[in-house]
Amino acid sequence: MSMERLHPLSAVIRVLSYGVNGFLIPTFLAFVGGNVLGDLVGIELPATDLLVVLAPLGLAVGATYGYLTYRRFSYELTPDTFDIARGVLGRTEREIPIRRIQNVDVQQNVFHQLFDVAVVRIETAGGGATEATLSVVDIDEARAIQRGIRERRARLRESNGADATAAEPTDADATTAGPTDADATTAGPTDAETTAADSVADEPAATADETSRARREDALGEDGAHDDALAHGAEDWNDPAGVWDDEEDYDQLLALRFADLLVLAATNFQLGSLLFILVGFPLAGDVATNVLLAAAEPFGGPASLDPNVVTPDQYFVLGGVAGPLVLVGGYVLSAALAVLEYYEFELGRRGNDLVYERGLLQRYSGSIPTDKIQTLTVRETAPMRWLGYAALDVETAGYAGGGGNAGTQAAVPVATRDRVLDLADDLFAYDDPGLERPPKRARERYAVRYSLVVLAAVAVAYAGAQLYPSFTLWYVPAIALLAVPPAAHLKWAHRGYAVRDDHVVVRTGFWRRRTYVVPYYRLQTVVGSATVFQRRRHLASLVADTASSATLSRSSPTAHDLDADDVDRLQHELRDRLQAHLGGDHADEPPGDHVDGGDGPDDHGGATPTSD
């Protein structure tokens, strides 16, 4: 098919964007450059005169260049690649293999929703950033691109599976002699007659899914009119202008109810919101000050923030009150962001992909190929556990669209724990096993660590009291020693691991508990590590590293503070299980279903399992 252009609104956006930049740059140079020339060479050039000449010129050049970027940008969806050509002064042409595309993310802000357009971002496995961006296209075109890439990827996967099946001779083929030439000339039905009879006999048994699959493959692989078009408004199988309506293949897995959204708002807390509150506090001015003083007054706080009258004890009270206020503000902000991000969240399945749609002001729509999932994470904050809820994250080998962290997407932002475990079982056969906890001497280590932190805080407060004799509350931090035993026990009780037939399970955290499920065939390395303090208690940690790019932003799944001998044993056991799965025990999985996203046809991440 011919290369397609972006939506005409894209031309308007680019003309305005580049035009404004072209206007601002000479404006800045006119004011700064005129003064510099006057100081250096004594040439007096009034800024207004320069502005009259350069600003319109910059505006015209910028607007023209913006329009050319629109005219010189084109894309095409072929049976095996997604092609992009762009560039004004230098031309760049790219072919992105369909099999490497991991997610086609469709995003709409409020402006886009008004004009029924969207931004399409194409992510590839193993990539650290967006591979291609179409800004903007018609919303129907964006959804058609999603469908087209998803169906082509399914066709390639099924084609690989069929090739692998055809390449393997059956036992009957190896042991049963074929018909002789004489047999072929004896009386009886011919091959054509037998085939026709078999076809007629099989027709009543064909399921709706098989019929749908056949129609889909015909449209993708044989009919050039279907294969070479991008569904410009097509909703029908018989429409040669594009792809079909595949709603019949959609299976809804989860839709957030209003009650679920309230639970998410009540149990969600993002640490980044604290920074926003701290930065915004000075901007709030008198309002924030009055709230802080009113909250501190019952505890002996000052009547004003005048440094000439505030005592050290009153500063201490202000700090003790400001901390909870910041937490409450961050909690409210986190709740609002969660509602905006996951409003009308819906998760479903189309073929081998999980597909999702969410968002209020910023609308996201994308997919998660299940054959690219590296790790499942059952995430439970303490409030979630108390209410019987949990969340499910998936980590993939590439960049995560939809505003997620690198390689991490929330497949289920919140749902009842049983529902989350059912989905985890469906994806990785996870059955929430009983975990092996660290030895009890690890709990003693946590108690010592927490005690030292509290004593250090008391020492700092006492030193402050020596410098400022009017500060008499230096002993207050010692109250935290009462929380050390339960804190150490809870940390120990919520850590552990389990070795299952197909995966290893690692759990850690109390306030934000995470349970990682890592299939053996996803393991890259199995590493044992021990700090100086761990070695004193004959402890070590086991790290199960995968190809997920999420490990760039946070640590890999780690079983902390296990017995050192157990870590050594687990290293060898996990390595052997990985080799067994790669060598044959995992051969029943469809080819390509365990590809990590590398360029090879059967890439398992490109790393050799090691035990350090």
Instruction: Quick: pLDDT tens for 73-105.
Output: 999 999 889 999 999 988 899 999 988 888 889
pLDDT band at 36 (very low <50, low <70, confident <90, very high): low
Task: Write out the two tokens for 334.
Answer: 């986190």
For residue 138, give the DSSP letter. Answer: E
pLDDT band at 39 (very low <50, low <70, confident <90, very high): low
Q: From residue 26, how far is each of 58, 68, 156, 504 by CA, in Å?
A: 6, 21, 52, 60
pLDDT tens per residue, range 44-53: 556 666 677 7
**Mean pLDDT of the 514-535 span:** 91
What's the CA gap between 34 and 18, in Å, rounded?
24
Task: Write out the two tokens for 394.
Answer: 């998936």
pLDDT band at 442 (very low <50, low <70, confident <90, very high): very high
Is the pLDDT at 144 greater than 70? The verdict is: yes
**Between vectors from CA 515 to CA 512 and to CA 521, what angle results, nearest 5°?**
145
What's the CA gap between 198 and 466, in Å, rounded?
96
What's the CA gap between 192 and 206, in Å, rounded?
21
Q: What share of the chain has pLDDT > 90, as a percent? A: 37
pLDDT band at 197 (very low <50, low <70, confident <90, very high): very low
pLDDT band at 554 (very low <50, low <70, confident <90, very high): low
**Mean pLDDT of the 447-460 span:** 95
Is the pLDDT at 243 greater than 60? The verdict is: no
**Mean pLDDT of the 230-258 span:** 57
Distance of CA 128 to the CA centre of its chain: 11
pLDDT at 434: 86
Looking at residue 361, its amino acid is L
**Mean pLDDT of the 546-552 span:** 60
pLDDT tens per residue, range 328-352: 888 899 899 999 999 999 999 887 8
Name which of 3-7, 225-229, 301-305, 524-528 the model is least confident about.
Answer: 225-229
pLDDT tens per residue, range 561-590: 999 999 999 999 998 888 887 775 444 443
pLDDT at 130: 80
Helices (H), 268-400: 272-284, 286-296, 312-342, 382-387
Q: Please report, in angstroms and rounded to a whole number, the separation of the first and last CA atoms in the chain.
A: 53
pLDDT at 582: 76
pLDDT band at 169 (very low <50, low <70, confident <90, very high): low
Question: Across all residues in the chain, what is the average pLDDT?
Answer: 78
What's the CA gap between 288 and 307, in Å, rounded?
17
Is the pLDDT at 486 greater than 50? The verdict is: yes
Region of residue 611 (left: phi > 0; alpha: psi -120 to 50; beta: else)? beta
pLDDT at 52: 74
**Mean pLDDT of the 267-275 span:** 83
Is the pLDDT at 242 greater than 50? The verdict is: no
pLDDT band at 402 (very low <50, low <70, confident <90, very high): low
Taking the CA atoms of residue 370, residue 376, residue 381 and residue 384 in that order, the dihedral angle to the nearest 10 degrees is: 50
pLDDT at 210: 47
Residues 526 and 542 sit within 8 Å (Cβ to Cβ)? yes
pLDDT at 299: 87
**Mean pLDDT of the 422-436 span:** 87
Looking at residue 292, its amino acid is L
Residues 125 and 606 sit within 8 Å (Cβ to Cβ)? no
For residue 354, give the DSSP letter. Answer: E
